[in-house]
Amino acid sequence: MTQLEEQPTAKETPLVPIEKVVALSKRRGFVYPNSEIYGGVAGIYDFGPLGVELRNNIRRYWWWSMVQLHDNVVGIEGANITHPRVWEASGHVENFVDRLTECANCKRRFRIDHLPEENWEQKKCPNCGGKLGEPRNFNLLMETYLGVVEGERMKTYLRGEACQNIYLDYDNVLKSSRVQVPFGICQIGKAYRNEVTPGNFLFRQREFEQWDLQFFVHPSEMQQWFDYWKEFRFNWYHSIITHKDRLRFRPHAADELAHYAKQAFDIEYRTILGWQEWEGIHWRQDWDLSRHSQYSGQDLSYTDPITKERYIPWIVETSGGVDRTFLNLLLDAYEEEPDPSGRESETRTVLHLNPMLAPVKVAVLPLQKNKEELVTTAKTLHKKLQRLMVAQYDEVQNIGRRYRRQDEIGTPYCVTIDFTTLEDQTVTVRERDTTAQTRIHMEELPMYLLERVTWK
Ligand code: ATP
């Protein structure tokens, strides 16, 4: 597998409180609460100017390594609304429920599967010690209606998981592209869930984005492909974090496995919230295509072009979250440290994001803003770099403050134009994590940066 360049494992730093990342996200334009001027909506967020850059980079890197680098994987983009029968076939109408209990005293609600066992056994609220009520089932699907005439409108659902479109388009992909089993279909798309307890910022939202691979195989090759994708996905996450020891597999226990699943693993990441699921690797056998064949009446079996064997392909699924990746990367990258220059008494906040995912790749800074030649040279260089990567120009406040502003948003390189530049065309390149400075000729700068900020 080709991957982002490995970064050295970071020194052990304390787990970052979510509030730090929430505050930074709002202050610097990564993430805003949705409809904030109306008081907000729990579990729904908008992404700001830097957030959308980071998000796009994360998505592009996933797509690049999953689709572009695999000859036997193609992509689709399905609609958020589907025929309502899809959700009957998938089992969501019947089974997509959370069991919930409410405290009679403080009225807080809890998912029973998220409560510490002893609290549920004693029916004791973990918040105030009050009495927990009888469990109730809540279906997570979000209902919506198609059509305009009252009485003729059709009830359907916003998709509760994005991957259903892949099963729906499987036959069309087979017939319209040149794929043959074994092959995979990828998709990145929104999913909607009426989560009973949205919270922890982007971790549990009501509208979020998933990335899925459904990989279709002959049953005899299931184990080998399951192992391949399991390792591949783990390595993928491993390559984009700095705290490598905070990533692990968690095998599903026998009582968690679906009846058709021989095995399943979660890839988990440890944050202040503890070990939590980041992505699931699932053995789905022929369950999804068989159910859709049955409910739609369409034959979704596959005929091997050589052996002519006819069968329903089995599926290996890898299903993760774009938003959890976004959040985990911020929590992984965030650090407050003593100012490395030692000159200022302040601490420096820095995001040690992998340079290839960082929202801004380079900042161009004239040493002084009142020296026309410095400003003109810096602006010309900025224009040139902007065509190649996301580059910012900044001339406000002293150079130390400008470095700090870029550190805080994870910009891996700052380029300073000073008086020496005017004499010999060299610039100072300052690296974010080490704060080391190197002098480079302006002509060599684009290549120098591109080598360090694009995937390979
Ligand atoms: P959980 O057990 O945390 O509720 P899940 O097992 O229901 O998650 P899946 O249905 O397997 O999750 O969804 C695949 C991925 O989508 C998860 O690994 C996670 O990254 C992401 N995801 C699921 N629910 C949410 C949510 N409410 N908000 C943000 N991301 C989510």
Q: What is the pLDDT of residues 394-414, one digit of tens each?
A: 999 999 999 999 999 999 999
In the predicted structure, residue 178 carries a pLDDT above the cut 90: no
Look at ligand 1, atom 19, and give the residue with the nearest C-alpha. 321
Whole-number pLDDT of residue 364 = 98
* For residues 229-258, average pLDDT: 97
Pocket of ligand 1 (CB under 6 A): 161, 193, 195, 204-205, 208, 210, 277-280, 319-321, 323-324
Q: Percentage of residues in the chain with pLDDT exceeding 90?
A: 89
In the predicted structure, residue 8 carries a pLDDT above the cut 60: no
Q: What gap in Å lies between CA 50 and CA 358, rounded to an integer?
A: 9
In the predicted structure, residue 287 carries a pLDDT above the cut 50: yes
* For residues 309-333, average pLDDT: 98
* For residues 346-364, average pLDDT: 95
CA 426 to ligand 1 center in whole angstroms: 49
* Confidence grade of residue 341 (pLDDT, cut at 50, 70, 90): low
Q: Which fold has domain 353-453?
A: Rossmann fold (3.40.50)
* For residues 404-426, average pLDDT: 97
Residue 266 CA: nearest ligand 1 atom is: 18
If one residue of 163, 208, 236 were mutated to test the ligand 1 pocket, choosing by the most ligand atoms within 8 A of its CB, it would be 208
Look at ligand 1, atom 22, and give the residue with the nearest C-alpha. 321
CA 256 to ligand 1 center in whole angstroms: 15
Query: Can you point out the beta strands (E) in 247-293?
Result: 247-251, 264-271, 274-285
* For residues 307-321, average pLDDT: 98
In the predicted structure, residue 5 carries a pLDDT above the cut 60: no
In the predicted structure, residue 2 carries a pLDDT above the cut 60: no
Whole-number pLDDT of residue 13 = 77
Tell me, what DSSP letter sits at residue 259? T
Whole-number pLDDT of residue 3 = 47
Q: What gap in Å lies between CA 242 and CA 354, rounded to an integer?
A: 8
CA 128 to ligand 1 center in whole angstroms: 28
* For residues 8-31, average pLDDT: 88
Cα separations (Å) of 156 from 81, 87, 93, 268, 431?
Answer: 8, 9, 10, 33, 52
* For residues 65-85, average pLDDT: 97
If one residue of 277, 283, 288 were mutated to test the ligand 1 pocket, choosing by the most ligand atoms within 8 A of its CB, it would be 277
- The label of the residue with tokens 């980041």 reads 278
In the predicted structure, residue 343 carries a pLDDT above the cut 80: no
Long-range contacts (CB closer than 8 Å, 24 or more residues apart) made by 93-97? 93/139, 93/141, 96/139, 96/140, 96/141, 96/160, 97/137, 97/138, 97/139, 97/140
Whole-number pLDDT of residue 345 = 67
Residue 206 CA: nearest ligand 1 atom is: 27
* Backbone φ/ψ region at 368: left (φ over 0), alpha (ψ -120 to 50), beta: beta
* For residues 244-256, average pLDDT: 96
Residue 319 CA: nearest ligand 1 atom is: 14
* For residues 365-390, average pLDDT: 97
In the predicted structure, residue 164 carries a pLDDT above the cut 70: yes
Tell me, what DSSP letter sits at residue 204? B
In the predicted structure, residue 371 carries a pLDDT above the cut 60: yes
Residue 276 CA: nearest ligand 1 atom is: 3
Look at ligand 1, atom 29, and give the residue with the nearest C-alpha. 204
Q: How many CA atoms lie within 13 A of 80 on its CB side?
A: 16
Look at ligand 1, atom 17, and give the residue with the nearest C-alpha. 320
* For residues 156-183, average pLDDT: 96
Could you tell me if 429 and 456 are in contact, meaning their C-beta atoms sit under 8 angstroms apart?
Answer: no
- The label of the residue with tokens 């992984």 reads 332
pLDDT mean across residues, the chain: 94
Whole-number pLDDT of residue 10 = 59
* For residues 199-225, average pLDDT: 97
If one residue of 324, 326, 328 were mutated to test the ligand 1 pocket, choosing by the most ligand atoms within 8 A of its CB, it would be 324
Whole-number pLDDT of residue 63 = 98
If one residue of 99, 111, 114, 210 were mutated to test the ligand 1 pocket, choosing by the most ligand atoms within 8 A of its CB, it would be 210
Q: How many CA atoms lie within 13 A of 50 on its CB side?
A: 24
Q: What gap in Å lies between CA 399 and CA 402, rounded to an integer?
A: 5
In the predicted structure, residue 332 carries a pLDDT above the cut 50: yes
* For residues 204-220, average pLDDT: 98
- 430 Cβ neighbours under 8 A, 6+ residues apart: 403, 413, 414, 415, 416, 436, 437
In the predicted structure, residue 27 carries a pLDDT above the cut 90: yes
Q: Percentage of residues in the chain with pLDDT exceeding 70?
A: 96
CA 117 to ligand 1 center in whole angstroms: 22
CA 179 to ligand 1 center in whole angstroms: 29
Look at ligand 1, atom 26, and give the residue with the nearest C-alpha. 204
Tell me the domain boundaries of the chain: 18-94+142-331, 97-129, 353-453
Between residues 195 and 63, which one has the greater pLDDT? Answer: 63
18-94+142-331 falls under which CATH superfamily? Bira Bifunctional Protein; Domain 2 (3.30.930.10)
CA 252 to ligand 1 center in whole angstroms: 15
In the predicted structure, residue 312 carries a pLDDT above the cut 60: yes
CA 396 to ligand 1 center in whole angstroms: 42
CA 197 to ligand 1 center in whole angstroms: 13
Look at ligand 1, atom 8, and give the residue with the nearest C-alpha. 277
Residue 325 CA: nearest ligand 1 atom is: 20
Whole-number pLDDT of residue 306 = 96
Whole-number pLDDT of residue 68 = 97
